[in-house]
Structure 1
């Protein structure tokens, strides 16, 4: 699968953010065989505001039904450090050659807070808080939720919920539009409003 290797990087406040992200998702999906299952792995926990970007995105995506994507990681059933390896084993046992999208929060520079990045290759979950976990994804979506540094976990604890809700809404909407835009894929959606 040949796609541009430059990451797509947008601020969640950018009026064109949803379309830019949807176009990038669509570029990936248009190159997939229709039979290849899209699996979205949303990493994080609802016990920490900054780390809830993944599970909240998974919960928003779970409102939509499609034969073309599967979701792992919601607020009700999060995928986190304690069950990530088992989840990935289950996923690979269930699906033959899935196209995995890893979604997770990350820490960065103050000027980058609120940025969403889609890039080639896997996520490295836990890197911002010095945890070594299995890499996840053929592509990854990272949302910069707070400032990185020595106090990584404390930064995640003090992240604003409004930011997380806004970013997860943007990611879920963009992913759904990207699936709609790609050939041979369709989703059933309720009204797309809210976050």
Structure 2
């Protein structure tokens, strides 16, 4: 069973925050961590939620984007929803039609795969992420800030693993991430 504590930082990246989705305070802790990130460089100008609804595990991004648009507390620029996902096939087109995404304060949200004890872990930090890296895709790095959710175990047959990820976990993670983002923008 994963460690039930939240982690303020990691040795690899002291500006990174981690918490498990099932912690009672996960949403509030994540919101505070995001608000601290915004205090250094300003809140995100756009949120890019990466993934596809064609693989349960990879739907974390589009679900988060859809939840964000259902509960706006202010006008949010969100790319990547269940209706209009941002994924490996169209990411270059999205960047080409919105070139500011590479230069502005973007929060990138994506699913990740990890070790068994990391499943359910939500990680937020400063820096860009490489979408598709877990499944050996070569895509451009994106974001000044990032939030990732470890939805399943990686390392072997990653496409199969993403397609056979528990929807309940992905839904809980997407709700927690969306609510934390909205709360962080009000802090």
CA 1:37–1:148 in structure 2 vs 1: closer, same or farther (change >3 Å)? closer
The structural deviation recorded for 1:114 is 0.4
CA 1:6–1:28 in structure 2 vs 1: closer, same or farther (change >3 Å)? closer
Q: Which residue of 2 aligns with 1:10?
A: 19
The structural deviation recorded for 1:88 is 1.8
Structure 2, unaligned runs of 5 or more: 1-12
Structure 1, unaligned runs of 5 or more: 182-195
Would you say the 8 A contact 1:50–1:105 is kept in 2? yes
| Structure 2: distance between partners of 1:65 and 1:167 | 18
Q: Which residue of 2 aligns with 1:149?
A: 155
2:72 corresponds to 1:73: no
Would you say the 8 A contact 2:102–2:142 is kept in 1? no
Q: Which residue of 2 aligns with 1:42?
A: 49
TM-score, L = length of structure 2: 0.87
| Structure 2: distance between partners of 1:55 and 1:91 | 18
CA RMSD in angstroms comes to 1.9
Number of equivalent positions = 175
Deviating above 2 A after TM superposition, structure 1's stretches of 4 or more consecutive aligned residues are 28-33, 64-69, 89-93, 95-98
The structural deviation recorded for 1:129 is 0.8
Q: Which residue of 2 aligns with 1:185?
A: none
2:40 corresponds to 1:19: no
Would you say the 8 A contact 2:73–2:182 is kept in 1? no
CA 1:96–1:54 in structure 2 vs 1: closer, same or farther (change >3 Å)? closer
The structural deviation recorded for 1:91 is 2.4
